[in-house]
Amino acid sequence: MSPSARSCDDLRSPMLFQTTEFALFFVAVLLLSAVLARHRSLRHLLLLVASYVFYMAWNSLYLVLIVFSTLLDYWVGAAIHASQSPRARKMLLAVSLVGNLGVLGIFKYYDFFVGNFEHLLGAVGLTVSAPVLNVILPVGISFYTFQSLSYTLDIYWRRLSPARNLLEFSLFVAFFPQLVAGPIVRAREFLPQLQTTPTVTSDMASSGLYLFLKGMFKKVVFADLLGVMLVDPVFKHPSEYGGLWMLLAILGFKLQIYCDFSGYSDMAIGCGGMLGYRLPVNFRSPYKAASIREYWRRWHITLGSWFRDYVFFPLGGSRGGPLRTYRNLLVTFLLVGLWHGASWTFVIWGGYYGVLLCLERLLAPNVNTSPDAAFVWRRRVPMVLLTLVLTSVATAIFRVADLKQLMAVFDALASPTNWGAGVQGVVVVVFTAAAITHFLPESWKEGAEASFVRLPAFVQAVALVLVLVIVRLAMTQANPFYYFQF
């Protein structure tokens, strides 16, 4: 795990969705919000206070950073909207960019760049000792910073009008279900929902409950067990296991991080739905992708679309010829890598995807990249397998903490397998079940949700209890979500 994981290890996490603490918190918020359903401003105030309490369960001091981003972009957004001077608008936008990215840079990247600058000067014989901050990375800072910043950019490009009041904008920035690990929500998606009285139908509540239970099962039963029983031991001592074990651990991590992160997204979307708000879909079975472009239309959708709209397109997108397109892709994905953390492994990971996308455009410009493309076995299966191989290399790069461990992983892949290290039966069952459920037809998954929604409330309650029992039996401890470190 990368050094930035200290944000999860050094302090306790925010209330984890799979804990009793969060269940009590959410039920209380749900009941109070129902009581205040006809009093929109009071309901917004309740949800904002609940969101701040949720974050303060991790660290009350760092709540100041969320409030700072909120006040900065609320003021800047209103000022940009009111100004007719292009120069003044650009200066105001610069204030937002410097304020948001400055805070993000100090907490997330300062020590990384200072350390590398010292090494660079040392290589040419100069000794410099720059001060390091050694601060704890605030949980979720990359998510809410991008969310708040997109609001200012949309106003600057005249795609959006400012929020009606500070309360609504504050809730948009801090809405607790998706505050610390997404999905990244745009203001134009969420603010209009705050301007009407939410209506939570029984179908919407049932669908939200289904998504929450599905996400919790994916996180605790699939992701955590694969991580503890397979991925962590092999990556910790790769030389003791050898090639086939290393390959199994890489595939296991692909399933682990998907079930962990998409599980969080499912639970966040489910909580939002039960409160009457629709959050964007963040995953669409990414390992079914038949190209790298399609993969990024299925994996962490809200982050990919954010970088597309606010980095790739402003750089020029695919206009200006192939060479400029390749440059824009490389710059965009190097920044995607840095977004994940201050580590050279993340830079390499982002650059690797940038190169793959350039090669794909060069060698297969007409490949169908739509997630809704018709499934033709003869054409699609080989491309899915190739994409799995290419993304598995990226998975290995993403998982390691540094370049030394990355070399150890690749050495292990080329080494004889230690057959004395036997795999536990439960790992085989969990690995197989996670893979099968991922590759099920989307119509089956949608049908399962629709069937749950149609069930009587009593049967839904029984299903709730059953899932909670399974989760409790599988849970050895409440593990933080993997993307809390970003």
* Boundary of a domain, candidates 153, 174, 197: 197
Q: Are residues 188 and 211 in the same domain?
A: no
Q: Using CA atoms, how far apart are residues 136 and 179, in angstroms rounded to an integer?
A: 18
Q: Are residues 143 and 233 in the same domain?
A: no
Answer for the pair 289, 306: CB distance below 8 angstroms, yes or no.
Answer: no
Whether residue 403 is predicted with pLDDT greater than 60 in this model: the reply is yes
Answer for the pair 211, 270: CB distance below 8 angstroms, yes or no.
Answer: yes
Domain span at residue 65 reads: 3-197
User: Mean pLDDT for the chain?
Assistant: 88
pLDDT of residue 291: 93
Q: Are residues 191 and 167 in the same domain?
A: yes
pLDDT of residue 54: 93
pLDDT of residue 376: 58
Q: Are residues 26 and 131 in the same domain?
A: yes
pLDDT of residue 375: 53
Question: Does residue 341 lie within any of the structural domains?
Answer: no
Question: Does residue 22 lie within any of the structural domains?
Answer: yes
Question: Does residue 269 lie within any of the structural domains?
Answer: yes
Q: Are residues 173 and 219 in the same domain?
A: no
- What is the average per-residue pLDDT within 66-79? 95
For the stretch 267-294, pLDDT in tens is 999 999 999 999 999 999 999 999 999 9
pLDDT of residue 369: 59
For the stretch 81-134, pLDDT in tens is 999 999 999 999 999 999 999 999 888 887 777 777 777 777 777 777 777 777
For the stretch 21-54, pLDDT in tens is 899 999 999 999 999 988 999 999 999 999 999 9
Q: Are residues 82 and 227 in the same domain?
A: no
Amino acid at 173: V
Whether residue 10 is predicted with pLDDT greater than 60 in this model: the reply is no
Whether residue 422 is predicted with pLDDT greater than 70 in this model: the reply is no
Q: How many CB atoms lie within 10 A of CB 301?
A: 21
- What is the average per-residue pLDDT within 181-203? 90
Whether residue 163 is predicted with pLDDT greater than 80 in this model: the reply is yes
* Boundary of a domain, candidates 137, 162, 197: 197
HEC assignment per residue over 316-355: CCCCCCHHHHHHHHHHHHHHHHHHHCCCHHHHHHHHHHHH
Annotated catalytic residue: which of 39, 44, 81, 340?
340
Q: Are residues 118 and 252 in the same domain?
A: no
Contacts of 458 (CB under 8 A, 6+ apart): none
Q: Are residues 444 and 478 in the same domain?
A: yes
Whether residue 151 is predicted with pLDDT greater than 50 in this model: the reply is yes
Question: Does residue 268 lie within any of the structural domains?
Answer: yes
Q: Is 300 a catalytic residue?
A: no
Tokens matching residue 227 = 């991580």
Whether residue 6 is predicted with pLDDT greater than 60 in this model: the reply is no
- What is the average per-residue pLDDT within 424-449? 90
For the stretch 216-263, pLDDT in tens is 999 999 999 999 889 998 898 888 888 888 999 999 999 999 999 999
Number of domains making up the chain:
2
Q: Are residues 421 and 378 in the same domain?
A: yes
pLDDT range class, residue 421, cuts 50, 70, 90: low
Q: Are residues 392 and 417 in the same domain?
A: yes
- Which is more confident, 185 or 59? 185
Question: Does residue 360 lie within any of the structural domains?
Answer: no
pLDDT range class, residue 136, cuts 50, 70, 90: confident
Answer for the pair 413, 244: CB distance below 8 angstroms, yes or no.
Answer: no
Nearest to 181 by CA among 54, 275, 24: 54
Q: Are residues 159 and 264 in the same domain?
A: no
Q: Are residues 123 and 157 in the same domain?
A: yes
* Boundary of a domain, candidates 153, 172, 197: 197
Alpha-carbon dihedral 129, 131, 141, 286, rounded to 10 degrees = 10
Question: Does residue 344 lie within any of the structural domains?
Answer: no
Question: Does residue 355 lie within any of the structural domains?
Answer: no
Opening angle at CA 66, ends 64 and 72, nearest 5: 95
Question: Does residue 53 lie within any of the structural domains?
Answer: yes
What pTM was computed for the model? Answer: 0.90
